[in-house]
Structure 1
Amino acid sequence: MIDLKGKVAVIFGLANKRSIAYGIAQKFAEAGATLVLSYQSERLRKEAEGLITELAQEHSAKAFQCDVSKDEEIDALFAQIKETYGTIHSVVHAVAFAPPDEIKNDFLLTSREGFRIAHDVSVYSLIAVARAAAPLMESGGSILTLTYYGAEKVFPNYNVMGVAKAALEATVRYLAASLGPKGIRVNAISAGPIKTLAARGIGDFSKILDAVTERAPLKRNVDQSEVGGAALFLASDLASGITGEITFVDCGFNITGI
């Protein structure tokens, strides 16, 4: 049993009960962690606070607003965290976005602005968050992000997001090298397809789910709880020697050929 009592975990990307961030938050809460959950905008406040109420039944949890595309909001969030908790031990970056047209249109039609937005929100935000978090991780800790197999292989209707995820995976490695001397580990989970709010923007998503069920060694898709379990392990001392890695949680789909 992994015990995170006395540990503070900051989780970005809380959207609703179907989000991967929520599945991770559940596992961290069960392990006794103190949760700091971040939602993007005022529009999401009510739902985020409702989820906080459920997650905080037994353990401490608070919600803060933070748009990770704005450095001033990231700085303000971590200033609040420093004042409230003093130190943190884990950060989960479960944030990604590209304008809808950049995903559904032919990749050749990717616009300069759409490319910029996808990489700013989905990739650069990890660097910005890590930079703000590092001073509060005085005893080392774990930073974790979420990627997808579309970073390595072409998936229909994924387009510029696949390119952003490839950049994100490279960023994980460079951050791991940069933060390693401080005892801060940086890793990513490459989760299989899950029916989240974000997944609704991917055309023919059900075909991807069906392909995984057919080809994956376990003959099924993963759920948020399984991703949460892997995240809990990577955030714990059991993974103290693991950094710069991409861990697949996809029922083995990535190992298959045909």
Structure 2
Amino acid sequence: MNSHPFSMQGKVGIVAGLANEDSIAFGCAKALHAAGAEMLVTCASSKAERFVKPLLPDMGDPELMVCDVQQDEQLSALFERANQRWGRVDFVIHSIAFAPLDDLHGRVVDCSRDGFLQAMDISCHSFMRMSKLAEPLMKDGGSLISMTYHGAEKVVDSYNLMGPVKAALEAATRYMAAELGPQGIRVHAVSPGVIRTRAASGLKEIEALTKDTEDRAPLKRLATIEDVGNAVVYLTAPSGAALSGMTHYVDAGYHIRA
């Protein structure tokens, strides 16, 4: 086995949340495959399968499963399949977020109870549920990684309801890191800047946000899904062995701006 600190040779895991070629999950799966990992990948519905299947060769032809994280039986089946194939899991990448458009486009103070609960369930609590299912399969430790955004920490115009939801995700990351650390399980949130994903397209001011990022980020560009994937490899590989409980910004430096 390759002892290079950035090698994922021999590592196995799950990348959840593919929708199309612009998905952050796709960037993560490509980078993990290039580093030597084997994985299961998921999309949320059979409708999304036709967009994801053509991408499989770039990820090393992983097994694709439909997994709606609100369906407990589908989530359980995903981890049962991982257990069948490998008897363990070394990493789980959670790149899943959703909020109903009416609630996302309105003020936080106006959001509906149902919309808030759905956004929290899909975008935050599902990461906790996946972590619970992964825990018994990480007998030798592992990495659990979710995707967040700067709007969790600062008010970003038009991010609205997702701000509090991602703030909850980042807090959950820290608590789970403390709880699972003694078992060698590391938990992180990765915070890309604005990337033109399908989820981001739901934001009313996406074009203004992208222009502001390109103008104000120290590197004068947006991060790419490949940038995020490379950061995920760093965190999940031996190179990240002493890191846990952090929010890692992959945003061309945008978050340092006042």
TM bucket, shorter chain? over 0.9
Aligned-partner residue type, residue 29 of structure 1: H
Q: Deviations over 1:104-158 (max 9, x none)?
A: 1222210011000010000000110000011111110111110000001111221
Give the structure 2 partner of residue 196 of structure 1: 197
2:7 is aligned with 1:3: yes
> What is the letter of the counterpart of residue 189 of structure 1?
V
2:161 maps to what in 1?
160
Partner of 2:67: 66
Q: What does 1:129-144 correspond to in 2, within 5 Å? A: 129-144=130-145
The RMSD of aligned alpha carbons is 1.1
Contact persistence 2:20–2:48 (CA under 8 A): no
Q: Are positions 1:47 and 2:77 aligned together?
A: no
- Partner residue, 2:16: 12
Mapped to 1, the partners of 2:49 and 2:23 lie a distance apart of 15
- Secondary structure at the residue paired with 1:82? helix
* CA distance in 2 between partners of 1:208 and 1:31 (Å): 32
Contact 1:87 1:137 in 2 (8 A): yes
Identity of aligned residues (%): 39
Question: Using the alignment, how far apart are the partners of 1:130 and 1:55 within structure 2?
Answer: 23
- What SS class does the counterpart of residue 223 from structure 2 fall into? coil
Quote the offset at 1:53 in angstroms.
3.2
3-state SS, counterpart of residue 186 of structure 2:
strand
Q: 2:37 aligns with which of 33, 38, 50?
A: 33
Residue 79 of structure 2 contacts residue 133 of structure 2 at CA under 8 Å; is this kept in 1? yes
Q: Aligned letter for 2:25?
A: A
- Residues 20, 196 of structure 1: 8 Å contact kept: yes
SS of the counterpart of 1:131?
helix
Task: Name the amino acid aligned to 2:26.
Answer: Y
SS of alignment partner, residue 203 of structure 1: coil
Contact 1:212-1:220 within 8 A present in 2 as well: yes
Give the deviation of 1:48 after TM superposition.
2.3
Give a deviation string over 1:200-239, Cα, whole Å, max 9, x none. Answer: 1001211111111111111111111111111110011111
8 Å CA contact 1:8, 1:89 repeated in 2: yes
Q: Which runs of 5 or more residues in structure 1 are unaligned?
A: none
Deviations 1:7-29 (A, max 9, x none): 11200101111010001111011
**1:37-60 deviation line (CA, Å, top 9, x unaligned):** 01111112222222223322xxx5
Match of 1:23 in 2: 27
* Cα distance between partner residues in 1 of 2:171 and 2:225: 24
- Once the two structures are TM-superposed, the CA of residue 188 in structure 1 deviates from its matched residue by 0.8
Question: How far apart, in 2, do the equivalents of 1:8 and 1:50 lie?
Answer: 22
Is the 1:71–1:128 contact (alpha carbons within 8 Å) kept by the matching residues of 2? no
C-alpha contact (below 8 Å) 2:143/2:187 kept by paired residues: yes
Q: Where does the alignment leave 5 or more consecutive residues of structure 2 unmatched?
A: none
Task: Quote the residue 1:122 is aligned against.
Answer: 123
* Amino acid aligned to 2:27: G
- Quote the Cα distance in structure 2 between the aligned partners of 1:128 and 1:176: 14
**Partner in structure 1 of residue 188 of structure 2:** 187
Give aligned pairs, total: 254
Deviations 1:85-105 (A, max 9, x none): 211111100011000111112
Matches of 1:103 and 1:155, distance apart in 2: 13
Cα distance in 2 for partners of 1:200, 1:128 equals 26
Structure 2 counterparts to residues 237-256 of structure 1, below 5 A: 237-256=238-257
TM-score, L = length of structure 2: 0.95
